[in-house]
Amino acid sequence: MTQKLRDYFIYIPSTPERARWGVKVLGCGVARVDSRQKYPLPGHPSDHDFDPKIGRTLQTLQIIHLIEGQGWLETATRGRQRVYSGSAFFLLPGEWHRYRPDPKTGWKEQWVELDGWVVRRLIQDGILNPRQCVFHEVGATGIEEVFGKLHAMLSGKQTHTVPELANAAHHLLGLCAEFPNASKNRPRFSDVVRRAEAYLAAHRGEAVDLEALACKLGVGYSYFRKIFKEQTGIPPWQYLLRSRLSRAQRILASSDETLASIADASGFSSPFHLSAAFKKAYGVSPDNWRKKIKGSPHG
């Protein structure tokens, strides 16, 4: 059986070695919150725990990405905004905020806490700003892959060096800095595309009939394919392939599962098809990629 990344969180003390790279990863985690479950989940440090009725203010940057479910975010600058599966939002230093899942649906979140002179400069220059802190449908930007790298390193599944961790954080900040441009250059996401992305994310480990999905969404396949590509930048089959490869990467990095097991869990019809797609996308076989990842020295 495939080993899934369990819920976890970790807080990391700042050190001069981490600071020298311009961005420090100070915390990271994944949490599934069931419907009606109390939020936030217990165990966090007192300066990070909060009552959703009161809210809180942090002195660092947090980036939160919702994998499933929906809920609300409220900030001092923008007031209350709805967030849902595929949304990412920033919690900026010094900005009062509160957020919570919808009690009817719960949600699954992944988050990272960052600080450092690069983070402060991005805020100072207005690239990260409280007026535009929520972005929807960010799944096609690569954010899942970068979070996957962070989780592999910080959950203890993959050894790493300080520069490698900083590099992943820089990559994530670069993606976040592009969110506003991406939203300006794409048409507003239709409900059809939003529902299609949610479905593909939930069923990426299964055989998916895209024509049947279009029918399920109440549109013709040609139209579905056209608007999906217009609004995500890639056709639905390629979106599904990227999602499956991303899942395969996470399993490779965090387990010793066989290629056959990983192919089955990530939606490929055989280990051969997984290997061929993986090598075409990343230029290396899955086995060699795993050996390289697991052979990295710990920093």
% pLDDT > 90, the chain: 36
Per-residue pLDDT tens digits for 6-26: 789 999 988 888 888 999 999
Q: How far apart are CA 199 and CA 237, in angstroms?
A: 13
Secondary structure element (H or E) that encloses residue 134, with its range: strand 134-135
User: Per-residue pLDDT averaged across 130-159, rounded?
Assistant: 87
pLDDT of residue 289: 85
For 298, the token pair is 């710990």
Q: Where do the domains of the chain lie?
A: 8-185, 191-294
* Fold held by 191-294: Arc Repressor Mutant, subunit A (1.10.10)
Q: Give the 3-state secondary structure of 57-104.
A: CCCCEEEEEEEEEEEEEEECCCEEEEEECCCEEEECCCCCEEEEECCC
Per-residue pLDDT tens digits for 168-202: 999 999 988 888 665 454 444 567 888 888 888 77
Q: How confident is the model at residue 134 (pLDDT cuts 50, 70, 90)?
A: very high
Report the residue count for the chain: 299
Identical topology for domains 8-185 and 191-294: no
The answer on pLDDT for 110 being more than 90 is yes
pLDDT of residue 2: 31
In 3-state terms, what secondary structure has residue 154? helix
Q: How far apart are CA 103 and CA 1, in angstroms?
A: 31
8-185 CATH choice from 1.10.569.10, 3.30.950.10, 2.60.120.10, 3.30.70.1150: 2.60.120.10
pLDDT of residue 190: 65
Q: How far apart are CA 121 and CA 299, in angstroms?
A: 26
Maximum CA extent, the chain: 57
Q: How far apart are CA 186 and CA 292, in angstroms?
A: 37
